[in-house]
Amino acid sequence: MTPSVHANPPHDALRDTLQGIDNAAQSAGRPVPRLLAVSKTQPAAAVARLAAALRERQPDRIPAFGENYVQEAAAKQAELASGTDVAAIEWHLIGHLQSNKAREAATLFDWVQTVDRAKLVDALARHRPAGREPLNLLIQVNIDDESGKHGCRPDAIAALAAAIAGHANLRLRGLMAIPAPAPEPAVRRQAFADMHRCFRALREAHPRVDTLSMGMSDDYPLAIAEGATMVRIGTALFGRRS
Ligand SMILES: *Cc1c(COP(=O)(O)O)cnc(C)c1O
């Protein structure tokens, strides 16, 4: 007899996380955001396990996983391809993308959340394989205007959005941010609120935009309170990365 999956610690972490997301949405009076499971440094087997648990809990959704590095994602996908899981997972790139990796990224991923310059838009459009669904893109915003950080300035969003909208094989979905870790919740919350303001402005010009990706393990309730439609969670699901 196979043991009940609910006896497994990863399933408890998933249950607690989904409950935490539900609670945060409910107390803020917001729609429940999508969960992106961040699987960087986790082996393919852990992705397969969590994907199965997600399918069990949310049968009408495709499990979404986020990876930071193109090479790591390629290896993991190759390993999963020997099973059946790879096609049934929606893959998101959430790490910085160098232009010389654009071809591989445009092939391996369904979403790229880290578009922050026009050159990358053109490279992704050029390399998205013909016959595939349009590549979903989020514009990464450096909302705290930290020097040396990736992401575009808020005043560059409109031009980048227009560049993306000019390509039939790219689909502009919204915005993503990784606010600076601030000890005081009020400061973090302000960054999330600023992102939501950018998101509303973007939607004025591009009404089909539907995704505001922000919030991680230690701050997702604040992000949800300020209107996140997707939270990116690693540690709370998989445990601390070694
Ligand atoms: C690692 C990472 C996450 C997940 O962070 P946790 O604190 O482990 O939940 C989310 N977004 C990005 C861009 C990351 O690099």
Domain at 17, CATH number: 3.20.20.10
Angle (CA) 77-81-82 rounded to 5° is 135
State what percent of residues in the chain have pLDDT above 70: 94
pLDDT surpasses 50 at 3? no
What is the spatial distance between Cα 101 and Cα 118, in angstroms, rounded to a whole number? 15
| Domain hosting residue 66, numbered range | 4-241
Ligand 1, residues 219, 232, 238: which to mutate, most atoms within 8 A of Cβ?
Answer: 232
Span 52-88, pLDDT tens digits: 999 999 999 999 999 999 999 999 999 998 776 655 8
Q: Which residues line ligand 1 (CB under 6 A)?
A: 38, 40, 68, 94, 178, 216-218, 232-236
Total domains present in the chain: 1
CA of 180 to the centre of ligand 1 (A): 12
pTM of the model: 0.94
Backbone angles phi, psi at 50, to 5 degrees: -70, -35
Nearest to 46 by CA among 59, 65, 18: 65
Provide mean pLDDT across the span 190-208.
97
Span 212-231, pLDDT tens digits: 999 999 999 999 999 999 99
pLDDT at position 84: 65
**Residue 146 binned pLDDT confidence (cut-offs 50, 70, 90):** confident
pLDDT at position 10: 65
For the chain, give the mean pLDDT: 93
Which of 61-65, 125-129, 136-140, 179-183 shows the lowest mean pLDDT across its residues? 179-183
